[in-house]
Structures are given as structure tokens and as C-alpha cells.
Homo-oligomer: A and B are copies of this chain.
């Protein structure tokens, strides 16, 4: 029943790399931010469909596996669905292709309501122009006893943190200094005082920091 957030950030707190472009929609630094996460066996299997067992199996992989466990519904921003790229195409089904990796109901925050979109693998996009608080409540009603993930992007996650909706925040801090892009922690002074904070260093050098109620 927890509301969860997982993010990859740099040591200087950048969660959304600068300068996203059509050729590089996540920004040019995305690869540096998520390299160790993408190297895990779990990520390779769940996202790339690699069933050879390749990939790392240490601490990073344990967090990657936990990421995919126990989520019954998700909340994402419009940009993460892809609306901002194709706002006027009613046939656009998001940038995730025919098998979006969510496999659960997904509430998409948008200013433009539209009909739900369903996929065979259990993913169902439902659009909401209400508040982040309403969207999380709706996701909770769909998730049943399972958790809700606020999946991103950064502004959606920050809205959920500011509204104090998040029960568990896990950040994988990669020790790189990006120096530009959207930062997670800005204006969240005192966030730590609402949680118990623990940290763990992975073999890769990534520091996993968890804020839990």
C-alpha cells in the first residue's frame, strides 16, 4: 500500500539531464546517470528481454529487482507518456511501443483528458487532469493491496514529494557531477526529517539512499 519513488541521480542531484532532443529524448547525460542500473541482470531481462542471464547480480541488481516487485498501479507525467511530443494526434499511443513495461494501470497526468488506452500486457493508460493527490488516490484504488509507484518525470516526482504523498523514496546516486539539468532536491529543505534515511554502497560505486517512513 506504500507510495514509492525510485530515481537515478548524480552526486550533484541531477535527475533529469539537460537538453533532451528528438534524437536523444532523455538528454545526452542519461547514459552516464543510469549506466549501472542498465547493467543489472534484472534490467536487461525486464526491459531488454535478455534472457541469457547476462548482467550484474550485486547490490544494484537487488534494487533493480525490488523496483519491479509489488507495484499495482503507477502515476506518471504527460511528458513521460509522450504527450508533449505528439499533442494533437488522437491515435498516438505513447512512446513505449506495443508492450509498455508497466503491465499495470498507469495514471497519466495531463491537462487534456482523453480516452484510456489498453495493451495486451496489462498496461492501461488512464488520463487525469486532476491534482497529483487525486491521481495517487486513484492509483491506490486501482492497486488494491499492492504499492503505487510515482514513476516520473522529475516534476511529477517533485510534486508528489512536496505534497507529502511518498512513503518510500529510493535514489541511486551515481558518483558523477553533471552540473546541469533538473535537480531533485531543490526547495525540498527538511525532507529528511519526515523519513528514516539509510544508505548502502553497491559494488559499482553507486550509493543507494532510501528515505522510508
Contact = CB atoms under 8 A, between A and B. Distances in A.
A119 interface: no
Contact of A197 (B13, B191, B197, B205): B205
| Interface of chain A, main secondary structure | loop
Interface in A149-205: 175-180, 183, 185-193, 197-201, 205
B197 A200 contact: no
A11 B200 contact: no
A185 B180 CA distance: 10
A206 B196 CA distance: 13
What 5 pairs between A and B have smallest CB-CB spacing? A179-B189, A12-B185, A175-B197, A177-B191, A199-B201
Interface of A: 11-13, 175-180, 183, 185-193, 197-201, 205, 207, 209
23 contacts: A11-B13, A11-B185, A11-B192, A11-B209, A12-B13, A12-B183, A12-B185, A12-B186, A13-B185, A175-B192, A175-B197, A177-B188, A177-B190, A177-B191, A178-B189, A179-B186, A179-B187, A179-B188, A179-B189, A199-B201, A200-B201, A201-B207, A207-B209
